[in-house]
Amino acid sequence: MSDELKSARISEKQLTHSNNCLDSGMKVKNHFWQVSPPPSTKNFPFIYSPTPPVSTDSRFEVVSSNRMKITVWGCRGSICVSGPTTRSYGGNTTCLEIRMSSGRLIIVDAGSGMRLLGKKIMRGDFTQDIVFVLTHAHRDHLIGFPFFAPAYHKNFSITLCGGATSTHRIKDHLRHEMEEPYFPINIDIMKAELRSGCCCSEAGCDGSMNGLLDQNQCHSIPLNHPNGGYGFKFTDNGKTFIFLPDNELRHLHAGGMSREHYVNFCKGADLLFHDAQYTDKEYAKTRGWGHSTYEDAVQLAIDADVKSLGLFHHDPDRSDDEIDQQVGACRKMIGQSGAKIDCFAVTENMIIDL
């Protein structure tokens, strides 16, 4: 056995998360590999990348009887990181792959994790129609788009969704990422068709999205974040996933909503990913920067009675051990409240099948 494999770690608290999932009726598998993946991981889309993902020491597949599948390609906040202290939770910035039961592919945000997702699609996914949803236009949520391989091929179409004027404004954001002198080529070299998609209203959209079936819906809510943005609620066959990645619950930004609005939006959700970047001590200095503490995220989940909470947008200076400690503190807080919420830190390359 190689020294690298010997050093592979799954934290005690991550294993506790696995046990919690088992207690709630969901089956959890942990997988390890060295150069090539074992047969038991053959259905995992991320494994077939020639460049292994950051978190190559552990893997979680949460399997239930339903069919909305969420794959995490990046969950780090602000800037991508690398190194041994961030190996378990990963260093790529925000990018999610959501597969609806209809087969529709929705990509949320274009952080650095989008690069590996693009390589996976090009290796034979055969998904030609892609819906791209942008929460907001800060750099850590856009930096991966110039490296998204399907955008350079004419047989792909990408429908742009999110924001008040989705087609033009989102394309302008993407175009800016590739303007000189910031990038060596411009967006015009891309051959994929960039289509007009749905737009978010100020108070939330009507739930429709191009290509979704009646049992699939996507609702939006404005984020409490500098320069604005939108969070999203995805519903499929009665299961609900809510994504609020950059959302400050204790400070009202222009265009943002009250805490009560977020509680109502999240009420009864099966799964919530929420911004949990700061500690209370850090927040004393970063109030107004657009991010919540992990305690704020937990209290929102308790008040909204969600079933599972994933701590998201990990601070770039936060080590794996520190995230483990935060998860422990969150679980203690949940236990003391009497709530029954499965709480975990979102991990790069995690797959959750709702």
Domain ranges of the chain: 3-32+45-353
Round to the nearest angstrom and report the end-to-end CA distance of the chain: 35
pLDDT of the residue at 46? 30
Q: What stretches of the chain show up as alpha helix (H) in DSSP? A: 3-6, 12-23, 114-122, 166-177, 259-266, 280-286, 294-304, 320-337
Give residue 303's pLDDT band: very low, low, confident or very high (50, 70, 90): very high
Query: What is the structure's pLDDT at 217?
Result: 82
Q: Give 113-142 pLDDT, tens digit per residue.
A: 999 999 999 987 566 889 999 998 898 899
| pLDDT at residue number 161 | 87
**Is-contact 310 38, C-beta < 8 A?**
no
**pLDDT for residue 242:** 98
Q: Which of 3.40.50.460, 3.40.1280.10, 3.60.15.10, 2.40.110.10 would CATH assign to domain 3-32+45-353?
A: 3.60.15.10
Three-class DSSP category at 75: coil
DSSP 252: P
Question: Do the Cβ atoms of 160 and 167 come closer than 8 Å?
Answer: yes
- When pLDDT is averaged across residues 83-92 and rounded to a whole number, the result is 95
Q: Please give the full DSSP string across 185-207, using - where no structure is assigned.
A: S-GGG--SEEEE-----SS---S
pLDDT the model gives residue 170: 81
pLDDT in tens, 64-77: 445 799 999 999 99
Q: Which of the pair, 261 or 290, is modelled with greater confidence?
A: 261
Among 147, 134, 54, 53, smallest CA distance to 94 is for 134
pLDDT at 33 over 80: no
